[in-house]
């Protein structure tokens, strides 16, 4: 119905506002209202302030910066930025903040820059935020304006200063060095805020400008990180801030939390950290789950600076580990990840594996899997433990494991640690463990890849099973994952290796029944890799035992393959060809020059 | 025949890693805030340290969804395709509904932090980046509610439904570019009323 109304030529302006709002509703409820976008764009040109404002809002809701219709509003926005009515200017600036993209920045940049000097503080504030947006989208476009941001920091209106803080934070995070000289300014501003020198209207529940305080604390953290001189200028104001914020209710706690984060980021000060540790104790032992969460998060920060603090809260932390609240459990794991060292890695990884088994969110799983991998690599007490852990990880989280982890594990088994006896027993253990695992009906693909490769190389070490039986097991396993192409190819190669080993040690030659059938099926496979392997194997099996052994050497996964760059082995062949008159190789540039010369001589002849 | 040489590249638990910097999480960011032994050298490495510790502070979206899963207000600061929005909003509400009052108001979902607060039948849901101050955002939600309250006088779900554009104006004053810019209620509301149509003659 809206569609027909909007399509009619005599659209009532008064009602248009209502219709645009209804369009927004329609979209919010999940239906498509794209027929109405153009009306919103057209309405931005109206003079009626209320209608214009709604039109801008609707446009911002409907479109995003990559939409085609953006070019249509650029002109309107440019006009409106110059309007006498500051409210129109504000509306235009707000829309810029939501819709401008890299291409449209140059169109509005000069005007916005001028607006930094507008008499109305609301306009100045929004102009700063618009420039902030430009910086986020195309930092080069506002490089010349960094000085302006600093100027706006000193604007007499606190809201404008607040906007300047946002912009400066981004600049500082990108590169703190040029802004280190601002540390005294920030310290002074924070001090003034904490001493209630801002107008009362900026108070929130009797706490002066808490969000500004948090922002300033973040900026100070960015400037003080790993910089002793800068940090020393901050200790006093941080202390004051902390003291004033305690016992100020929830908002105060937010400020305390930020103070603790800042204190653990900048160059450490023992006194300040003591103070923070006390605050963190309060959080962790609080009955409120929110405060516990925040306490755990700040503990992660402090623990890196002074591990002793973590010890006091061991009981509370352990309790959180089994809390029914999933967020708390995740936070505790974060903390433990930060605290892992060689002596506690086994316990922590065990807990993480348990968490992984329960976790549903794909992102969480991926993060946990990567973390376990990192911890295992770094702090593993023994290679044996590492392999067992990785097996478990692949079993539980096989769907989100990265290929690199799979390759790492295979390389590890193949390369060994240099001690031949330990290696041999390790590989035998691995082979046995994998053979056991193969009994399970369905394993994740990642794990299967590792198993197939390992058993291919070292299946011969399995006592009690002949190579033929191992081959059969592998083929059965490959069947459980019919879509995994790489797996089938690897299984064939593994079977071939086993066959080679059997022949070399005098056992029964050739592939088992199932293996032969697998190879035959893939002889004419559409997948080039599979068919190539299948054919190679068929030919190889007909060759002499020594050839087979050379082609598929035993236990050579860790050996380097020497590439003879001088190609001496085919030198004789090349010489014979030269004698017969074959042309020498010419590089690409030589060939290009020759064809140029040929073309020029053609043209000359014409 | 060439001699056999073995490469040894991986050694779990070896001291080789001890020289490495602090533990990075899956996104390469330092977990926690210890910046001390990161061995900074040369220009520009300052940025690497700081960015990995502090990251962007961004409010990604602000949603008002009622218990039945109907969205009453959706203010997105980043580009999210329309189809995905419905999905996210539904997932958020379901997650919030399954949590008890005692449990914390912070959830991790799809790699970002989501802070929610329940007011009668409405859920205020704010999605932020990992490194944002969760308690501050929690209070920000309350600040928004108080501002709406002051404007509408005891705000309820119907007020927002009938004056959707007002609610948006208020939010647009408070959050720009995903940053919390303005929390001074007089300023916010002073500006918002200016866009009211003039009274009927």
The H-assigned helical ranges of A438-512 are: 445-458, 467-479, 485-504
Judge whether residue A276 has pLDDT over 50. yes
**Beta sheet of B122-128, edge-to-edge order:** B71-76, B59-66, B122-128, B112-119, B106-109
Average pLDDT over residues A136-147: 87
The burial class, CB within 10 Å (0-12 / 13-18 / 19+), for A495 is buried
pLDDT of residue B28: 40
Q: Concatenated DSSP letters for A114-130? A: HHTT-SSHHHHHHHHHH
Least Cα distance to A116 among A74, A148, A153, A79 occurs for A148
**Tell me, what's the ipTM?**
0.76
Are the beta carbons of A187 and A155 closer than 8 angstroms? no
Task: Provide, as residue numbers in chain A, all residues whose Cβ is less than 8 Å from the Cβ of B87.
Answer: none
Neighbour count for residue A556 (Cβ, 10 Å): 14
Judge whether residue A525 has pLDDT over 50. yes
Distance of CA A342 to the CA centre of its chain: 27
User: A176–B182: do the CB atoms touch at under 8 Å?
Assistant: no
Partner residue facing A415 (CB), from B6, B47, B139 = B6
Structure tokens at A466: 């002949």
- Closest chain B residue to the Cα of A22, Cα to Cα: B164
Model confidence band, residue A27 (pLDDT cutoffs 50, 70, 90) = confident
- Range scoring the smallest mean pLDDT among A34-43, A165-174, A475-484: A475-484
- Range scoring the smallest mean pLDDT among A140-149, A342-351, B19-28, B114-123: B19-28
The dihedrals phi and psi of A362, each to the nearest 5 degrees, come to -60, -40
Are the beta carbons of A503 and A549 closer than 8 angstroms? yes
In chain A, % of residues over pLDDT 90? 21
Residue A274 to residue A84: CA distance in whole angstroms: 56
Q: How far is A36 from chain B (nearest CA, A)?
A: 15
Task: Provide, as residue numbers in chain B, all residues whose Cβ is less than 8 Å from the Cβ of A25.
Answer: 164
In angstroms, the Cα distances linking B52 to A334, A524, B58 are 16, 51, 15
Distance of CA A70 to the CA centre of its chain: 30
In angstroms, the Cα distances linking A409 to A367, A369, A386, A427, A464 are 19, 14, 9, 12, 26
The dihedrals phi and psi of A177, each to the nearest 5 degrees, come to -55, -50
Find out if CATH 3.30.70.260 is the number for domain B59-192: no
Question: For the CA atoms of A169, A171, A174, A179, what is the dihedral angle to 10 degrees?
Answer: -90
What are the residue ranges spanned by the domains of chain A? 426-556
Please tell me if residue B191 touches chain A, with a CB cutoff of 8 Å.
yes
Average pLDDT over residues A142-147: 88
Are the beta carbons of A355 and A329 closer than 8 angstroms? yes
pLDDT of residue B69: 83
User: A415–B140: do the CB atoms touch at under 8 Å?
Assistant: no
- Range scoring the smallest mean pLDDT among A137-146, A348-357, B192-201: B192-201
The burial class, CB within 10 Å (0-12 / 13-18 / 19+), for A137 is middle
- Please report the residues numbered 78 through 97 in chain B whose beta carbons come closer than 8 angstroms to any beta carbon of chain A: 79, 82, 85-86
Neighbour count for residue A35 (Cβ, 10 Å): 12
- Closest chain B residue to the Cα of A334, Cα to Cα: B31
Q: Concatenated DSSP letters for A512-573? A: -HHHHHHHHHHTT-SSHHHHHHHHHHHHHHHS-HHHHHHHS-TT-TTBPPP--TT-GGGHHH
- Range scoring the smallest mean pLDDT among A162-171, A185-194, A383-392, A416-425: A416-425
Instruction: Specify the DSSP element, H or E, that contains A208.
Output: strand A207-208
Residue B153 to residue A275: CA distance in whole angstroms: 42
Q: What would the pLDDT profile of A111-127 be if each residue is shown by its tens digit?
A: 999 999 999 999 999 99
- Closest chain A residue to the Cα of B100, Cα to Cα: A325
- Closest chain A residue to the Cα of B82, Cα to Cα: A30
What mean pLDDT, rounded, does chain A reach? 82
Structure tokens at A224: 């003080």
Q: List beta partners, residue B122.
A: B66, B119
Residue A52 to residue A126: CA distance in whole angstroms: 18
Q: Using the structure block, give the residue that is written with the tokens 């809260």.
A: A313
The dihedrals phi and psi of A565, each to the nearest 5 degrees, come to -70, -30
Average pLDDT over residues A183-211: 92
pLDDT of residue B10: 54
Least Cα distance to A219 among A157, A276, A171, A151 occurs for A171
Partner residue facing A50 (CB), from B10, B56, B195 = B195
User: A325–B185: do the CB atoms touch at under 8 Å?
Assistant: no
The dihedrals phi and psi of B18, each to the nearest 5 degrees, come to -60, -30
Distance of CA A487 to the CA centre of its chain: 28
Average pLDDT over residues A148-172: 91
User: B46–A90: do the CB atoms touch at under 8 Å?
Assistant: no
Question: For the CA atoms of A562, A567, A570, A573, what is the dihedral angle to 10 degrees?
Answer: 170
Q: What would the pLDDT profile of A81-97 be if each residue is shown by its tens digit?
A: 999 999 999 999 999 99
Residue A385 to residue A380: CA distance in whole angstroms: 7
- Closest chain B residue to the Cα of A131, Cα to Cα: B177
Partner residue facing B5 (CB), from A210, A268, A559 = A559
Q: List beta partners, residue B107.
A: B114
pLDDT of residue A510: 65
Structure tokens at A158: 């606190």
Which one has a higher pLDDT value, A293 or A591? A293
Positive or negative, the CA dihedral A534, A539, A545, A551 is negative
What are the residue ranges spanned by the domains of chain B? 59-192
Q: Using the structure block, give the residue that is written with the tokens 């609301």.
A: A122
pLDDT of residue A532: 79
Beta strands in chain B (DSSP E): 59-66, 71-76, 106-109, 112-119, 122-128, 175-176, 179-180
Burial B100-129 (b: 16+ CB within 10 A, else e): eeebbbbbbbeebbbbbbebeebbbbbbbe
Model confidence band, residue A555 (pLDDT cutoffs 50, 70, 90) = low
Q: What would the pLDDT profile of A223-238 be if each residue is shown by its tens digit?
A: 998 888 989 999 999 9
Judge whether residue A10 has pLDDT over 70. no
Which one has a higher pLDDT value, A300 or A220? A220
Partner residue facing A265 (CB), from B35, B107, B133 = B35
User: A411–B10: do the CB atoms touch at under 8 Å?
Assistant: yes
Task: Provide, as residue numbers in chain B, all residues whose Cβ is less than 8 Å from the Cβ of A338.
Answer: 23, 31-32
Contacts of A278 (CB under 8 A, 6+ apart): none
User: B104–A289: do the CB atoms touch at under 8 Å?
Assistant: yes
Average pLDDT over residues A585-597: 80
Are the beta carbons of A112 and A76 closer than 8 angstroms? no
pLDDT of residue B198: 66
Burial B60-71 (b: 16+ CB within 10 A, else e): bbbbbbbeeeeb
The long-range contacts involving A507-510, CB below 8 angstroms and separated by at least 24 positions, are: A507/A466, A507/A467, A508/A466, A508/A467, A508/A468, A509/A545, A510/A541
pLDDT of residue A474: 78
Model confidence band, residue A38 (pLDDT cutoffs 50, 70, 90) = confident
Residue B131 to residue B129: CA distance in whole angstroms: 6
Per-residue pLDDT of chain B (201 residues; tens, 9 = 90+): 334 445 555 555 554 344 333 444 333 443 333 332 232 222 333 333 333 344 565 899 999 998 888 889 999 988 888 888 888 888 888 888 888 888 889 988 888 889 999 998 889 999 998 888 999 999 999 999 999 999 998 888 889 988 999 999 999 999 998 899 999 999 999 998 888 776 654
Partner residue facing A290 (CB), from B71, B104, B109 = B104
Neighbour count for residue A101 (Cβ, 10 Å): 14
- Closest chain B residue to the Cα of A100, Cα to Cα: B177
Q: How far is A37 from chain B (nearest CA, A)?
A: 14
Segment of A249-263, A337-351, A402-416, B4-18 carrying the highest mean pLDDT:
A249-263
């Amino acid at each position: 119905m809206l569609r027909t109304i909007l399509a009619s030529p005599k659209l009532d302006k008064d009602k248009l506002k209502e219709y645009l709002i209804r369009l927004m509703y329609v979209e919010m409820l999940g239906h498509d209202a794209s027929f109405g976008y153009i009306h919103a764009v057209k309405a931005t040109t109206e003079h009626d302030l209320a209608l214009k404002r709604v039109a801008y809002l609707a446009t911002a809701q409907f479109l995003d910066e990559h939409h085609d219709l953006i070019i249509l509003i650029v002109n309107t926005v440019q006009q409106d930025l110059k309007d006498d009515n500051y409210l129109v200017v504000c509306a235009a600036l707000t829309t810029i903040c939501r819709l401008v993209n890299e291409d449209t920045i140059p169109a509005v940049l000069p005007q916005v820059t001028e607006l930094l000097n507008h008499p109305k503080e609301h306009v100045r504030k929004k102009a700063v935020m618009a420039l902030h947006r430009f910086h986020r989208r195309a930092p080069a476009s506002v490089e010349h304006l960094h000085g302006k941001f600093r100027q706006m920091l000193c604007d007499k209106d606190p809201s404008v200063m607040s906007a300047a803080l946002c912009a400066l934070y981004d600049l500082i995070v990108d590169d703190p060095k040029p802004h280190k000289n601002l540390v005294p300014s920030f310290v002074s501003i924070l001090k003034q805020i904490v001493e209630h020198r801002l107008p009362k209207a900026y108070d929130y529940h009797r706490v002066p400008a808490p969000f500004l305080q948090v922002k300033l604390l973040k900026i100070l953290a960015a400037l003080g990180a790993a910089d002793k001189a800068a940090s020393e200028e901050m200790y006093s104001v941080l202390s004051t801030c902390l003291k004033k914020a305690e016992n100020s209710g929830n908002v105060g706690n937010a400020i305390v939390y930020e103070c603790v984060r800042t204190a653990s980021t900048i160059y450490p000060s023992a006194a300040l950290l003591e103070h923070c540790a006390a605050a963190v104790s309060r959080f962790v032992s609080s009955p409120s789950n929110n405060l516990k969460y925040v306490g755990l998060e700040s503990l992660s920060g402090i623990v890196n600076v002074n591990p002793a603090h973590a010890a006091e809260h061991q009981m509370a932390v352990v309790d959180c580990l089994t809390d029914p609240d999933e967020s708390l459990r995740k936070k505790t794991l974060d903390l433990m990840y930060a605290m892992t060292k060689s002596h506690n890695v086994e316990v922590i990884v065990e807990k993480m594996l348990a968490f992984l088994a329960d976790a549903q969110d794909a992102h969480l799983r991926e993060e946990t899997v990567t973390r376990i991998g990192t911890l295992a690599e770094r702090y593993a007490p023994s290679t044996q433990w590492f392999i067992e852990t990785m097996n478990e990880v692949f079993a539980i989280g096989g769907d989100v494991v990265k290929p690199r982890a799979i390759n790492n594990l295979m390389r590890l088994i193949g390369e060994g640690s240099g001690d031949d006896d330990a290696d041999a027993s390790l590989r035998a253990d691995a082979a046995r463990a994998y053979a056991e695992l193969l009994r399970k009906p369905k394993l994740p693909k990642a794990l299967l890849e590792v198993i197939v490769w390992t058993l291919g190389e070292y299946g011969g070490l399995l006592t009690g099973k002949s190579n033929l039986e191992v081959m059969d097991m592998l083929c059965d396993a490959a069947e459980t994952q019919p879509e995994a192409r790489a797996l089938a190819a690897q299984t064939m190669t593994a079977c071939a290796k086993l066959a080679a080993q059997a022949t070399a040690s005098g056992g029964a030659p050739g592939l088992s029944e199932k293996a032969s059938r697998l190879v035959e099926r893939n002889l004419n496979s559409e997948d080039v890799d599979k068919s190539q392997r299948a054919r190679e194997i068929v030919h190889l099996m007909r060759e002499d035992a020594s050839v087979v052994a050379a082609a598929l050497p035993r236990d050579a996964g860790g050996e380097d393959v020497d590439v003879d760059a001088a190609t001496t082995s085919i030198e004789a062949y090349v010489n014979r060809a030269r004698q017969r008159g074959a042309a020498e190789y010419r590089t690409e540039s030589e060939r290009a020059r020759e064809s140029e010369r040929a073309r020029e001589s053609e043209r000359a002849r014409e | 025949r060439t001699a056999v040489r073995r490469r040894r590249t991986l050694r779990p638990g070896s001291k080789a890693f001890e020289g490495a910097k602090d533990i990075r999480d899956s996104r390469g960011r330092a977990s926690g805030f210890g910046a001390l032994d990161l061995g900074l050298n040369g220009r520009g490495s300052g940025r690497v340290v700081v960015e990995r510790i502090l990251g962007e502070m961004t409010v990604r979206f602000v949603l008002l969804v009622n218990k039945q899963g109907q969205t009453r207000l959706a203010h997105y600061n980043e580009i999210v395709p329309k189809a995905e929005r419905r999905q996210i909003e539904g997932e958020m509400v379901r997650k919030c509904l399954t949590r008890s009052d005692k449990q914390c108001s912070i959830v991790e979902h799809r790699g970002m932090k989501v802070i929610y607060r329940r007011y009668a039948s409405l859920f205020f849901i704010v999605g932020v980046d990992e490194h944002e101050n969760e308690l501050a955002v929690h209070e920000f939600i309350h600040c928004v509610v108080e501002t709406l309250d002051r404007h509408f006088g005891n705000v309820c779900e119907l007020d927002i439904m009938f004056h959707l554009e007002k609610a948006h104006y208020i939010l647009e004053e408070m959050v720009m570019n995903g940053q919390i810019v303005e929390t001074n209620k007089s300023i916010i509301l002073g500006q918002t009323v200016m866009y009211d149509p003039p009274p009927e003659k």
